[in-house]
Amino acid sequence: MNGSVYIETSIFGHLTARPTDNLIVAANIKITQDWWNEHSSSFTLYASEIVEDEAAKGDPIIAAQRLNLLQSLMLLELTEDAFELSQAFLTQSNLPLKASNDALHMALATVYNLDYLLTWNCKHMANAQIQRKLAQISSDLGYILPVIWLSQVWWVKCILRYITPSEGVERTTKTQRTQRSIDPM
């Protein structure tokens, strides 16, 4: 196994999404489905009752599909420690109160010491400015914030793992890049 991953609700939304004419959304759906089908089995996957509650909302047929996917994951229990950490995230960072479930997702993944949290939520989760502050809050309380990935970033990382220099990708050292910027040929 390659580690533990908390699967946030937006991933299930993309896994069960209806076809769309929006090319960006369609690409994100495809990326999510490809990761799920080709890479998810390499990880230990987790969700929570919060994911389950969120996944149950909306169109009953699509919600049933999301809940069916959730059956294969282990559900993390909301502990007092996770709740307290989520409250610290909300009160000590720039997360708005309406992001309380987002704070709970991140707190659960942190308290359970998971390696990754996979999401499409760029506003409150996969946001470098917010992550920096949440990492500090986590550290101050004795935790390590997991790596929070967008599906597309993870997908690119998986693809790049299989590309070798002989396939046309030039790998350079930091020194080589510095020399090029000083003395371009």
Name the pLDDT band for 27 (thresholds 50, 70, 90): confident
Q: How confident is the model at residue 147 (pLDDT cuts 50, 70, 90)?
A: confident
- Residue 185 clears pLDDT 80, i.e. is over it: no
* Domain membership of residue 108 as a residue range: 4-182
What pLDDT was estimated at residue 70? 94
**What was the pLDDT predicted at 106?**
92
Q: Report the chain's mean pLDDT, rounded to a whole number.
A: 82
Contact 28, 151 (CB under 8 A): yes
Cα(21)–Cα(104) distance, integer angstroms: 33
* 75's tokens: 């559900």
pLDDT at 132: 87
> Which domain CATH number covers 77?
3.40.50.1010
Give the per-residue pLDDT at 95: 87
The pLDDT value recorded for residue 160 is 44
Tell me if 105 sits within 8 A of 117, measured CB to CB: yes
CA 45 to CA 70: how far, in whole Å?
Answer: 10
46 backbone φψ class: left, alpha, beta (φ>0; ψ -120 to 50): beta
> Among candidates 43, 24, 2, which has minimal Cα distance to 122?
24
Q: Regarding predicted confidence, which is higher, 162 or 134? A: 134
pLDDT of 4 above 80: yes
How many domains, the chain?
A: 1
Q: In angstroms, rounded to a whole number, what is the distance separating the alpha carbons of residues 30 and 36?
A: 10
pLDDT of 126 > 60? The answer is: yes
- Least confident span in 75-79, 123-127, 141-145, 147-151: 123-127
Question: What tokens were used for 101?
Answer: 């479930």
**pLDDT higher at 94 or 171:** 94
Count of C-beta atoms within a 10 Å radius of residue 99 = 21
Per-residue confidence (pLDDT) for residue 182, from 0 to 100: 40
Per-residue pLDDT, 1: 65
